[in-house]
Amino acid sequence: MEFMNWLFLVLFFGLIVLFFVSFTLFIRRSVYRSMARNERIDEVEAKLDRILAHLEKPKK
C-alpha cells in the first residue's frame, strides 16, 4: 500500500511540474508571436507611407 502512495505522490508532483512547464512555454510562444506580428505591422505601415508619399508628389 505504501508503494501506491509513493506512486500517486510522484505522479501528482510530476503533473504539477508539467503544468508549469507547459504554461511557461505557452506564454513564451504567445509573446514571440505578438512581437513577430508587431514587426509585420510596422513593415506594412512603412510600405503604406511610401505609397502615400509617392501618390502625394506633384505630377509634372
Cα(9)–Cα(49) distance, integer angstroms: 60
Q: How far apart are CA 7 and CA 12, in angstroms?
A: 8
With left for phi above 0 and alpha for psi between -120 and 50, is residue 6 left, alpha or beta?
alpha
Collapsing DSSP states into helix, strand and coil, what is residue 46?
helix
The answer to whether residue 41 is domain-embedded is: yes
Range of the domain at 39: 20-60
In a domain, 47, yes or no: yes
pLDDT computed for residue 18 by the predictor? 98
CA 27 to the chain's CA centroid: 6
Residue 60 binned pLDDT confidence (cut-offs 50, 70, 90): low
Q: Is residue 14 part of a domain?
A: no
- Of all residues in the chain, the percent with pLDDT exceeding 90 is 68
Q: Whole-structure pTM over 0.85, yes or no? A: no
Residue 36 inside a domain? The answer is yes
Confidence grade of residue 12 (pLDDT, cut at 50, 70, 90):
very high
**Total structural domains within the chain:** 1
Res 2: pLDDT? 92
